[in-house]
Structure 1
Amino acid sequence: MEHFFSLLNIGIRRRSKDFFILFYNIVFPAVIIMLLGYLTSKSYGTSFTSYHYYTIVMIPFCELMGVTSIAYAAQDERIHHTAYRYMAAPITRTELVLSKFFSCAIMLSICDIVVLAIAKLMFHIPFNGKVTFIILLFISETVIVTGIGLFLGLACKNFAAIQNFLNLPITIFGFLGGAFFPIGSTNSFISFIIDLSPLTWVNRGIVACIYENNTHILIITSIVFMLVGSIITMLAVKFFKREAFI
């Protein structure tokens, strides 16, 4: 891992200037929270407001949308026309993939924390001393989102075809997870469909943690995300070929 930290430094500098990552993970969720919170302000109470609800559901949803941005970030060498340098440089594919993974995961996590801090200051969300658990959950979601994004961008030969269909499952997961409005059902089949969305468990975990003092769902969800994200990242390392940059 001799060249890992040099590659990580380059990756963080690139991600800190990446318009799509910064806009869709800081500006976009902040604006949507304020807009939807205002439009539905009369539909919620005073202890749990519409701004509280959309802060909880919109940050994880926007983070999931980051899969596409991460997939494009994985193709930096093609975009910046530096592919041949990386092919000739004495760096391993593990160093290359992991440096991309950590640089993207770090920036996404920072974006989430910034939005969470803005929401705390503006809407006075009562974290009740559980903010560390919530940040842990966001970081774990970042791990799986970054892993999927890197796998699509580096290991999939037909990413150009896949990217046209990415928005559909993301939107479906968002809808089932209640990103646009609360959703639930007493029908067992519909409840099963709703539970298929990872955002359902993210949002349930946050609500249970803050308002019920129950961190069980949040911790289990975080562990699952970490494990799955790590496995997908290892698969990206295994199937990555430098020739994909050309």
Structure 2
Amino acid sequence: MKAVKNIITQDIYNLFTNPMWIFYNIVFSFLLTAALGYLTKGMYGGGVTSYDYYGIAMTVFAVMNTGTIAANSFMEERIKAGNMRILFSPVNNAWIWISKIIASFVFGLVCHLVTIGLLKISFHIYLGSGAWPWLVFLFISAELFAAVLGVFLCCLFKSEHTANQILSLVLQLMALAGGVFVSLERFGEVFRKLSFLSPMKWIIQSVFLLVYDQIPVYCIYAGIGLLILSGLGILGCFKTWKGGDCL
């Protein structure tokens, strides 16, 4: 168990000491939310500010992008030497990818909680009264799902580059369709209905229903659904992972 703990600790350390990933997950997310909130200031009503909308929408988008971090931390070229050492150690080589899921999950969760805190302090985004337990549950579920998805795609395609290309394309399409960057509801009923084809829209809508209408049931359903998908993704990793894939 000590060896497993050391593997996980090292993977977490690698993520938190990478300035580019810190910048992308905290600074870039914060600045992008601030810019979009400023550019659309005054375009929202009903007690919802532009910063409220983008604070939630961009956080959901950032959380789902944890998958790209997981893929990078799993099969990036400079990581492969460490994976090779684990492969020839007495530790079960499945811990190579399990550790990457855990490390990416922890890193993403900490970064996104920090970002939410900065947005709350800077722009006073509204996160509801007493909604925190369900919000945390939903974001934990989404963070875990994203990390599992990134690692699973690496196990499936045996390539970090291919996994990231597919994942980035899918996430961008879901973000555009789900109104992450521009809310499609302002373009009419047809676009509003089309936006619900995106899973990101489901999560964003669940958060808004919780925060503004005090309806937690959709957050619970979404969180449970994401946990089930995470479990299926982990099973997929066990089925598709071969030790030599990391060499």
What is the TM-score with the length of structure 1 in the denominator? 0.90
| Structure 1 residue 80 displacement after superposition | 5.4
Change (3 A) 1:162 1:146: closer
Matches within 5 A, 1:119-158: 119-126=119-126, 127-158=128-159
1:103 aligned onto 2:106: no
CA contact (8 A) 1:25 1:111 kept: yes
Cα distance in 1 for residues equivalent to 2:160 and 2:71? 8
SS at 2:81's partner residue?
Answer: coil
* Greater Cα shift, 17-26 or 165-174: 17-26
1:34 aligned partner: 34
Matches within 5 A, 1:1-246: 3-45=3-45, 47-75=47-75, 79=79, 81-126=81-126, 127-184=128-185, 185-187=188-190, 193-246=194-247
| Structure 1 residue 76 displacement after superposition | 5.3
| Structure 1 residue 193 displacement after superposition | 4.0
CA RMSD of aligned residues (A): 2.1
* Greater Cα shift, 19-28 or 211-220: 19-28
CA contact (8 A) 1:155 1:241 kept: no
CA contact (8 A) 2:150 2:163 kept: no
* Greater Cα shift, 158-167 or 132-141: 158-167
Which runs of no fewer than 5 residues in structure 2 stay unpaired? Answer: none
CA contact (8 A) 1:29 1:58 kept: yes
Cα distance in 2 for residues equivalent to 1:226 and 1:66? 15
User: Identity over aligned residues, as a percent?
Assistant: 25
What is the TM-score with the length of structure 2 in the denominator? 0.90
Which runs of no fewer than 5 residues in structure 1 stay unpaired? Answer: none
Superimposed CA distance per residue, residues 58-100 of structure 1 (whole angstroms, 9 cap, x where no aligned partner): 0111222232221111125753523432221011133332222
| Structure 1 residue 34 displacement after superposition | 0.7
Cα distance in 1 for residues equivalent to 2:84 and 2:167? 29
The aligned amino acid for 2:105 is: A
Q: How many residues align?
A: 244
Change (3 A) 1:178 1:129: same
